[in-house]
Amino acid sequence: MKKDTPLFWTRTECPVCSSSNIKIIRQRNISYKEFNHDQIKITDKDYGKIWDLSRCSDCTHVFANPCPTADYIRRLYAQIKDPSYEEEAGGREKNFLPILWNINKIHPGKGNIFDVGAATGIFLNSARKYRWRPDGIEASSWAVGTAQKKYNLKIREGAFESIPLKEKYYQSVTMIDFIEHIPYPYQAVLKAHEILTRAGVLCLVTPNLHSLAAKISGGRWWHFRPAHIHYFTKTSLRRLLERAGFKVIKTRNYTWTFSAHYLISRLAFLDFLLKSNFLSSFFRKIPIKLALGDSIEIYAQKK
């Protein structure tokens, strides 16, 4: 690997399958100079922003290349504050319940659950209600503090890759919208393998580059954003998991629920509807279920 600047580095191999059969496919429209922690917030609205992208001809994986370094990413995430994420807590909780239900179907019986990229703890709070013992890690200090204040949850602060954890201890590990943000996805999945029990279940959710929504929206796809440095397909995600010693048990298309307010606020031409306080709070109360199916939800167990 060659260093371009101290903050970005160039890969010569695919981060999923290690093939050197990689080609540049798109040029970036994000400026290195202007890149900052506000652009990687979960609720960032600046869609259609990409890094220089390379594609692996062997496993179909697409990834930022050059890519921000692990240390740079860690520093940026540590600074994130995103209060509007919590405004949608109700909808987000609804999104997470089918995940708990599916994990339980594959491996009946509760136990220890570890959520990687736990954000403000909405998922772990739901898991605890369903009698899981919650544990997890999050890079943003603000999010860790919010989880403690709002849900009385102790979430570890830092990076999953470098924190010492008990091996073969967790009945489930979840990575919901996490893997596309980190420089070394293979190492993260390998670590999940280490800490899971023999019959433990890994659940992973990530945007699907080959989804219909991605194809229809083209360059304006809302998962094209500075925070995303990987774009998986079902093929590359399966390859990643199998390489780390997992077998795929089940794959679904992820469905989102959020309020009408959230959707409208993300469609610039409808923004005028939120100018009045009455309409604004009215739209907050209307849940919308969007079966976009533009994320992959995948469940795996050890081979």
Q: Which is nearer to Zn ion, 236 or 265 (CB)?
A: 236
Q: Which is nearer to Zn ion, 17 or 124 (CB)?
A: 17
Q: Which is nearer to Zn ion, 140 or 236 (CB)?
A: 236
Q: Quote the least distance from Cβ 283 to Zn ion, whole Å.
A: 42
Q: Quote the least distance from Cβ 237 to Zn ion, whole Å.
A: 11
Stretch that binds Zn ion, among 55-63, 94-102, 246-254, 256-264 (CB under 5 A): 55-63
Token pair of 260, please? 């009408």
67 scored as a contact of Zn ion (CB under 5 A): no
Stretch that binds Zn ion, among 60-68, 167-175, 213-221, 257-265 (CB under 5 A): 60-68
Among 11, 41, 55, 61, binds Zn ion (CB under 5 A): 61
Among 50, 59, 100, 176, binds Zn ion (CB under 5 A): 59
Residue 78: other Cβ atoms inside 10 A: 17
Token pair of 158, please? 């830092």
Please give the size of the binding site for Zn ion, defined by CB under 5 A: 8
Among 40, 42, 56, 203, binds Zn ion (CB under 5 A): 56
Instruction: Give the integer Cα–Cα distance in Å for 33 and 139.
Output: 23
Q: Which is nearer to Zn ion, 155 or 237 (CB)?
A: 237
Looking only at residues 6 through 45 of this chain, which bind Zn ion when binding is defined by CB under 5 A?
A: 14, 16-17, 19
Which residues here bind Zn ion, judged by CB under 5 A? 14, 16-17, 19, 56, 58-59, 61
